[in-house]
């Protein structure tokens, strides 16, 4: 027993590895502006990377990390991930907003990356090990009309995808010409009343053109009035979607009980959620089938792990948000959760450009409809900072979020 006791004392006496610096890397390799947080440690050469991407407010997140979190974090023990997350969340007193949550996520994911590197293990091993070898993913098939959507969906199927999200005419749909009043302001117009018939016709066309074994998904993107959303979920039931995504806005989650009472269409919800109070009742009352939060929006891997465990108790599966405005670091973090979670359902995948693969060595690739992790320690992904600097973030005003109803009224995007 003596040698073990001496070894234990030796470990206790080892100095803690601490945070020495926190750096924000902004880059825009394609359309979306990305926010990467790099946490440096007192161990030479040891650092971690995390995703803090809130693409519409990148500079606000940058300021939150550099001006508020960084001074708070310097000198803290990198092993104390849970304590750092909890203290970071309450240190500013006001909490549960997307800017702060994304800032905290960047640090949180970086600390998990560091933990894995220190352990010599991928993060999924630290979460509990593999539940599967790879994560099934769905790709996006879009088009100006139903035939173009079908052709793009077939291309994905030919590449090995067995889950395809089908959209037509962008969010809000390709409705007939919108009848606007005189002097209507510019904006991204859509007609919620025309949405249902237009999209049902598109889904019907695609369903009858593709192999029955291909799973179809559709994203409403909160564009319907609640009562119309109830009707749409009923009407689309005949097509047996894998799931219907974001049928309602977070402000309208009370309507999910009415949807559930009327339709057996599987429902996925959550990309705009910020805190557990928003998804708790949907999970405990089994009103949705998939949680699909943007993990940096809720604060990182630590709360996402907790959300997955909570959802599993009630038979709800995961489908983490994974579009182009999740950074490659965030996609790697999603994959570690996917590989571990017993209640994994599906993973959204955005098909990165070759530039992104070059800029983020270790970014996973899809093979025959499955996303495979690598066995590198931590999150298994890095960033070429010199290349990232060649693609700085533009200062832009988002256009697609300036949505309007036919009479010009502002609408949720």
The predicted-structure confidence for 108-153, as pLDDT tens digits, reads as follows: 999 999 999 999 999 999 999 999 999 999 999 999 999 999 999 9
Q: How far apart are the first and last CA of the chain?
A: 64
Predicted confidence band of residue 183 (pLDDT cuts 50, 70, 90): confident
In the predicted structure, residue 390 carries a pLDDT above the cut 70: yes
d(CA 53, CA 57): 8
Given a cut of 90, is residue 6 above it in pLDDT? Answer: no
How high is the pLDDT of residue 14?
A: 77
Higher-scoring residue by pLDDT: 238, 401: 238
Structure tokens at 8: 């234990």
Low-confidence winner among 21-35, 154-168, 330-344, 395-409 (lowest mean pLDDT): 395-409
Most confident of 179-183, 238-242, 394-398: 238-242
pLDDT of 175 over the 80 cut:
no
Architecture (CATH level 2) of domain 10-121 = 2-Layer Sandwich (3.30)
Which residues are identified as catalytic? 171, 221
Mean pLDDT, rounded, of the chain:
94
- Residue 243 confidence (pLDDT): 98
Separation of alpha carbons 117 and 254, rounded Å? 43
pLDDT value at residue 192:
87
Flag whether pLDDT at 309 surpasses 60: yes
Position 226 confidence tier, pLDDT thresholds 50, 70, 90 = very high
Q: Is 375 helix (H, G, I), strand (E, B) or coil?
A: coil
Tens of pLDDT, residue by residue over 232-283, are: 999 999 999 999 999 999 999 999 999 999 999 999 999 999 999 999 999 9
The candidate with the shortest Cα–Cα distance to 112, out of 321, 331, 318, 336, is: 336
Q: What are the sequence ranges of the domains in the chain?
A: 10-121, 125-378
- Put simply, whether the predicted model's pTM sits higher than 0.95 gets the answer no
Which pair of tokens denotes residue 295? 């993990």
Per-residue pLDDT for 1 more than 80?
Answer: no
Q: How does pLDDT run across 335-379, given as a tens digit for each residue?
A: 999 999 999 999 999 999 999 999 999 999 999 999 999 999 999
Question: In this structure, what token pair is assigned to residue 200?
Answer: 């049902």
**Tens-place pLDDT, residues 34-92:** 999 999 999 999 999 999 999 999 999 999 999 999 999 999 999 999 999 999 999 99
% of the chain exceeding 90 in pLDDT = 85
CA dist 116 and 23 (Å) reads 20
pLDDT at 361: 98
CATH class of the domain at 125-378? alpha beta
Show the tokens assigned to 287: 């009103």
Let me know if 153 is exposed, middle or buried by CB neighbors in 10 A (0-12, 13-18, 19+). buried
Element (H, E) at 267: strand 267-269
Buried b (16+ CB within 10 A) or exposed e, 156-186: bbeeebbbbbbbbbebbbbbeebeeeeeeee
Question: Can you say whether the dihedral through the CA atoms of 156, 158, 164, 168 is positive or negative?
Answer: positive
Per-residue pLDDT at 2 exceeds 80: no
């Amino acid at each position: 027993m003596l040698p073990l006791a001496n070894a234990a004392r030796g470990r206790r006496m080892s100095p803690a590895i601490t945070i020495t610096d926190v750096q924000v890397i902004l880059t825009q390799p394609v359309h979306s502006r990305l926010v990467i947080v790099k946490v440096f440690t007192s161990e030479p050469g040891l650092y971690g990377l995390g995703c803090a991407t809130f693409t519409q407010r990148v500079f606000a997140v940058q300021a939150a990390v550099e001006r508020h979190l960084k001074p708070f974090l310097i000198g803290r023990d990198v092993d104390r991930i849970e304590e750092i997350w909890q203290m970071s969340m309450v240190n500013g007193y006001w909490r549960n907003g997307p800017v702060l949550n994304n800032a905290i996520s960047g640090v949180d994911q970086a600390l998990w990356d560091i933990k894995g590197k220190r352990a010599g293990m991928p993060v999924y091993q630290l979460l509990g090990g593999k539940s599967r070898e790879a994560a099934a993913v769905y790709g996006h098939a879009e088009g100006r009309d139903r035939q173009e959507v079908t052709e793009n969906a077939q291309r994905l199927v030919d590449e090995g995808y067995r889950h395809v999200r089908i959209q037509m005419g962008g969010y809000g749909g390709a409705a007939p010409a919108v009848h606007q009043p005189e002097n209507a302001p510019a904006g991204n117009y859509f007609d919620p009343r025309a949405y249902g018939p237009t999209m049902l016709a598109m889904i019907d066309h695609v369903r009858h053109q593709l192999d029955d074994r291909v799973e179809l998904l559709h994203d409403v993107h909160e564009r319907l009035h609640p009562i119309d959303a109830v009707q749409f979920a009923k009407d689309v039931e005949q097509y047996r979607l894998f799931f219907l995504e974001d049928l309602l806005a977070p402000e309208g989650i009370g309507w999910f009980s009415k949807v559930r009472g009327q339709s057996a269409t599987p429902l996925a919800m959550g990309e705009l959620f910020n805190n557990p109070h928003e998804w708790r009742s949907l999970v405990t009352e089994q009103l949705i089938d998939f949680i699909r939060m943007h993990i940096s929006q809720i604060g990182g891997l630590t709360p996402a792990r907790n959300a997955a465990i909570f959802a599993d108790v009630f038979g709800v599966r995961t489908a983490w948000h994974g579009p182009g405005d999740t950074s490659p670091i965030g996609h790697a973090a999603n994959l570690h959760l996917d590989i571990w979670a017993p209640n994994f359902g599906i993973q959204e995948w955005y098909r990165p450009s070759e530039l992104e693969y070059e800029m983020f060595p270790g970014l996973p690739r899809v093979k025959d409809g499955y996303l495979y992790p690598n066995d590198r320690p931590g999150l298994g992904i890095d960033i070429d900072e010199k290349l990232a600097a060649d693609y700085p973030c533009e200062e832009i005003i988002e256009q697609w979020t300036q949505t309007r109803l036919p009479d010009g009224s502002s609408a949720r995007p």
